């Protein structure tokens, strides 16, 4: 754990500009930029918002949120998980400017959530569920990018849910793609995948990042194919709005309609966005921390504040609500990024590309970007991961697989909710089996049973302890030992005392050792880790 991961001291700030970090962050930022660009456009399209709003949100997520955030590898931007909410909100509120007000209010609510320490909820996500979510994102990337790799681009890259806005689903899109293969796109994606796999193994040549080489190859081949049967169509290329000056850029900005501040529907949308965006963000940074090679821990409450500021800025300028996005963050990690400067640079590239080189960016085939994402998906859902989770036992493997399948066949939040329910079931099941240590000692013709309670005995242990006491043999002596217990839940104490009072019906003699009538939860300040107290 890096306890200084969220520090902004001058000494810590210097690391962002060290040569060893810059040489990794700059190439990674270009890859993330290339991945984020079509995602921003696709999510804006699916949300029923102006395409410019998607890119603007990516710019703010990269520059503003990453500058405030303590997360080193997380990348923020418009999220596919919010598209249905945004699409419905714009329609129900009647105007895009009114919707922008809801985004601003959602940002304020997120800042409040950060200050009241609501981010600590991330500590309660079971590891198996987070790993399952990551693997599901990998599977989704592969399935969703296959049509683009084959040259079928009717559905934009931004749609990550199983059910799509065109009344189809992931598998129907793949079926349609197989019937409408574009061989030019297929050649580009196949060659791009080979480069992604084998180029890093050529150590002398791999100073040029494989994803950047893939984009160069894609542009060159798309130009070479012009005028032939392999020529790519316009819908098979990246398409960003073309602005000819900074003035045209600023003219695209929109302000929220503050006259609707008393509209209750605006507040309902704001609360919905704040809760859903916060949950997606917490899930996202928890997942990214797990694949961080350095294993840093992101400060969750600070992240909520950063996201809140980002959403306020986005709403004030005409953008969409944002979250930490796993697809972009995964591409960032897999491209070798070391610090949050990669995310900041990616935001700068989005801004500069929109202002200065929209024509060049529009020459990039979607099929080569699909190859980059397919390779990223493969790294998230390797066969070795399934073998590792299987080796960890059923309690880990079942929630992992359920989460994976649920996310793939529904969407991120629904899938994680289903995985959490299964994960909690196995946690309760484990507590049922391991509530306490108890051993049976012989004492002549009579059995002496000592039940030694754990250090922390919570409500979750109640059913297990009750089961243990109910099934003790008749005519035995029982000692319930609480000498190691710092805390015993009041409900558990009632079970213990009720058993003692009624044990005579089974000719059982019960003795309680060092069990209090009441246990108070230790003050939080006594439980906080203080590095200065450690020698």
Burial of 459 (0-12, 13-18, 19+ CB in 10 A): exposed
Contact yes or no for 340/69 (Cβ under 8 A)? yes
CA 348, chain centre distance (Å): 23
Contact yes or no for 120/126 (Cβ under 8 A)? no
Written as one string, the DSSP assignment of 208-219 is S-HHHHHHHHHH
pLDDT of res. 244: 82
Q: What integer is the mean pLDDT of 404-432?
A: 85
pLDDT digits (tens, 9 = 90+) for 431-461: 666 656 555 565 555 678 888 888 888 777 7
Distance in angstroms between the alpha carbons of the first and the last residue of the chain: 17
Q: What integer is the mean pLDDT of 497-503?
A: 90
List C-alpha distances in Å: 115 to 7, 8, 206, 442, 526: 17, 18, 44, 57, 21
- Residue, of 63 and 50, whose pLDDT is higher: 63
Q: What integer is the mean pLDDT of 184-189?
A: 96
Q: What integer is the mean pLDDT of 228-250?
A: 87
- Residue, of 169 and 276, whose pLDDT is higher: 276
pLDDT band at 44 (very low <50, low <70, confident <90, very high): confident
Ordered strands of the 476-481 beta sheet: 436-443, 446-453, 476-481, 509-513
Structure tokens at 166: 């065109």
Contact yes or no for 473/503 (Cβ under 8 A)? no
pLDDT of res. 337: 94
If DSSP codes are grouped into helix, strand and coil, which group holds residue 318? Answer: coil
* CA–CA separation, 509 and 476 (whole Å): 7
pLDDT band at 3 (very low <50, low <70, confident <90, very high): very low
Please check the confidence at residue 159 and state whether its pLDDT lies above 60.
no
Contact yes or no for 350/52 (Cβ under 8 A)? no
Residues 6+ apart with CB under 8 A from 349: 29, 30, 33
Place of tokens 């994606």: 189
Lowest pLDDT segment from 40-44, 309-313, 325-329, 511-515: 40-44
Q: What is the dihedral of CA 101, 105, 111, 112, to 10 degrees?
A: 170
Place of tokens 């798309």: 222
pLDDT digits (tens, 9 = 90+) for 346-398: 999 999 998 888 888 889 998 998 888 888 888 889 999 999 999 988 889 99
Q: Report which of 492, 383, 520 is spatially closest to residue 431, judged by C-alpha positions.
A: 492
Contact yes or no for 78/58 (Cβ under 8 A)? yes
The average confidence (pLDDT) of the chain is 85
Residues 6+ apart with CB under 8 A from 346: 29, 30, 32, 33, 36, 58, 62, 75, 328, 332
Residue 386: count other Cβ atoms within 10 Å of its Cβ: 15
Structure tokens at 433: 């089996």
Q: Report which of 126, 106, 13 is spatially closest to residue 304, judged by C-alpha positions.
A: 106
pLDDT band at 15 (very low <50, low <70, confident <90, very high): confident
Angle CA 46–51–52, to nearest 5? 145
- Residue, of 531 and 70, whose pLDDT is higher: 70
* CA–CA separation, 73 and 337 (whole Å): 7
Are β-strands 76-78 and 322-324 bridged in parallel, bridged antiparallel, or unpaired? antiparallel
Contact yes or no for 55/350 (Cβ under 8 A)? yes
pLDDT band at 534 (very low <50, low <70, confident <90, very high): very low
* CA–CA separation, 412 and 435 (whole Å): 33
- Residue, of 235 and 446, whose pLDDT is higher: 235
List C-alpha distances in Å: 274 to 62, 106, 109, 165, 197: 19, 5, 6, 23, 39
Q: Report which of 137, 139, 123, 133 is spatially closest to residue 400, judged by C-alpha positions.
A: 133
Structure tokens at 82: 């919010």
Please check the confidence at residue 217 and state whether its pLDDT lies above 90.
yes
Written as one string, the DSSP assignment of 421-461 is HHHHHHHHHHHHH-SEEEEEEEETTEEEEEEEE-SEE-GGG
pLDDT of res. 535: 35
Contact yes or no for 368/225 (Cβ under 8 A)? no
Contact yes or no for 293/73 (Cβ under 8 A)? no
* CA–CA separation, 194 and 190 (whole Å): 6
Lowest pLDDT segment from 7-21, 385-399, 506-520: 7-21
pLDDT of res. 120: 83
Give me the helices (H) in 381-411, please: 383-391, 394-409
Structure tokens at 189: 């994606």
pLDDT band at 172 (very low <50, low <70, confident <90, very high): confident
pLDDT band at 101 (very low <50, low <70, confident <90, very high): very high
Structure tokens at 108: 């304020």
Q: What integer is the mean pLDDT of 516-522?
A: 79
Structure tokens at 135: 């693997």
Please check the confidence at residue 4 and state whether its pLDDT lies above 60.
no
Contact yes or no for 240/353 (Cβ under 8 A)? yes
Q: Does domain 436-513 have CATH number 3.10.20.740?
A: no
If DSSP codes are grouped into helix, strand and coil, which group holds residue 143? Answer: helix
pLDDT band at 109 (very low <50, low <70, confident <90, very high): very high
Contact yes or no for 442/474 (Cβ under 8 A)? no
- Residue, of 433 and 332, whose pLDDT is higher: 332
| Domain residue ranges of the chain, discontinuous segments joined by + | 10-388, 389-432, 436-513
Lowest pLDDT segment from 174-178, 188-192, 201-205, 230-234: 201-205
* CA–CA separation, 145 and 163 (whole Å): 15
pLDDT digits (tens, 9 = 90+) for 29-38: 999 998 888 8
Please check the confidence at residue 108 and state whether its pLDDT lies above 90.
yes
Sign of CA dihedral 152, 154, 159, 165: negative
pLDDT of res. 161: 67
Structure tokens at 331: 């591409």
Contact yes or no for 162/408 (Cβ under 8 A)? yes
């Amino acid at each position: 754990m890096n306890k200084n991961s969220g520090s902004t001291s001058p000494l810590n700030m210097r690391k962002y500009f060290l040569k060893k970090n810059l040489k990794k962050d700059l190439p990674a930022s270009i890859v993330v930029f290339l991945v984020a660009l079509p995602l921003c456009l696709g999510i804006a399209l699916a949300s029923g918002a102006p395409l410019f709003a998607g890119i603007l949100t990516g710019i703010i997520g990269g520059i503003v949120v990453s500058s405030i955030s303590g997360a080193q590898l997380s990348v923020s931007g418009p999220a596919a998980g919010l598209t249905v909410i945004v699409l419905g909100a714009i329609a129900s509120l009647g105007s895009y400017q009114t919707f922008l007000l809801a985004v601003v209010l959602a940002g304020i609510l997120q800042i409040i959530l950060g200050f009241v320490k609501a981010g600590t909820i991330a500590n309660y996500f079971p590891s198996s569920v987070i790993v399952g979510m990551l693997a599901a994102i990998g599977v989704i990337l592969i399935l969703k990018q296959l049509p683009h790799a084959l040259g079928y681009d009717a559905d934009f890259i931004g749609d990550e849910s199983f059910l799509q806005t065109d009344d189809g689903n992931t598998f129907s899109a793949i079926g349609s793609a197989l019937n409408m293969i574009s061989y030019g796109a297929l050649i580009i994606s196949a060659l791009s995948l080979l480069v992604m796999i084998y180029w890093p193994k050529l150590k002398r040549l791999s100073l040029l990042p494989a994803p950047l080489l893939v984009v160069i190859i894609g542009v060159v081949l798309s130009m070479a194919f012009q005028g032939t049967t392999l020529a790519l169509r316009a819908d098979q290329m990246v398409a960003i709005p073309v602005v000819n000056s900074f003035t045209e850029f600023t003219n695209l900005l929109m302000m929220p309609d503050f006259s609707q501040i008393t509209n209750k529907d605006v507040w309902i949308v704001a609360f919905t966005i704040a809760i859903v965006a916060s949950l997606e963000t917490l899930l996202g940074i928890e997942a990214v921390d797990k694949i961080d090679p350095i294993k840093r821990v992101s400060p969750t409450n600070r992240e909520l504040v950063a996201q809140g500021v980002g959403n306020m800025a986005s709403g004030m300028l005409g953008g969409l609500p944002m979250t930490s996005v796993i697809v972009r963050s995964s591409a960032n990690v897999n491209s070798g990024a070391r610090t949050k400067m990669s995310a900041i640079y990616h935001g700068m590239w989005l801004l500069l590309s929109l202002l200065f080189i929209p024509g060049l960016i529009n020459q990039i085939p979607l099929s080569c970007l699909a190859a980059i994402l397919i390779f990223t998906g493969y790294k998230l859902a390797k066969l070795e991961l399934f073998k590792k989770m299987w080796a960890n036992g059923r309690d880990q493997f079942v929630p992992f697989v359920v989460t994976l399948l649920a996310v793939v066949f529904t969407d991120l939040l629904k899938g994680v909710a289903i995985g959490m329910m299964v994960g909690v079931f196995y946690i309760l099941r484990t507590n049922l089996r391991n509530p306490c240590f108890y051993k049976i000692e012989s004492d002549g013709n009579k059995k002496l049973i000592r039940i030694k309670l754990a250090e922390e005995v919570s409500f979750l242990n109640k059913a297990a302890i009750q089961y243990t006491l109910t099934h003790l043999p008749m005519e035995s002596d029982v000692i319930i030992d609480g000498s190691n217990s710092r805390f015993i839940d009041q409900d558990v104490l009632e079970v213990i005392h009720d058993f003692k009072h009624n044990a005579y019906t089974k000719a059982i003699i019960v003795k309680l050792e060092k069990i209090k009538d009441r246990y108070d939860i230790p003050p939080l300040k006594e439980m906080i880790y203080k590095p200065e107290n450690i020698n």
